[in-house]
Amino acid sequence: MQNDLSYEERTAQVKLTQREKKIVGFIHEHGDSFLSDTITEFSEKAGVSDATMVRFCKHLGYKGYQDFKMRMAREMLPRDKQYNPELTQAD
């Protein structure tokens, strides 16, 4: 799977299991609130096991949970703040 695909594109291209659909639903419902969670915290909140979360990440082409979180954070951050969050349009 291509590394430049967004999360939405990745989830649209693969057949998800029921547990993976549960993860997707949790992310849609809670937005970026999971980005500061450990894998165990996220798994507990989403109602899946840590192993299911790792399999989900790898199924979508990420290296693991940390890679998934970093890429999701990058996608959720406005483009004008991606390289230096301290910069504004006026800088």
The pLDDT value recorded for residue 38 is 95
- Does the model's pTM come out above 0.85? no
**What pLDDT is attached to residue 89?**
64
Look up residue 88 and give its two tokens: 């504004």
Please give the C-alpha separations between residue 86 and each of 50, 90, 91, in angstroms, as whole numbers.
34, 11, 9
- pLDDT for position 73: 86
Read off the pLDDT of each residue in 29-33 and give the average, rounded to a whole number.
84
Lowest-confidence segment of 3-12, 23-32, 61-70 by average pLDDT: 3-12
68 vs 89, 90, 91, CA distance in Å?
28, 31, 31
Average pLDDT of the segment spanning 34-63: 94
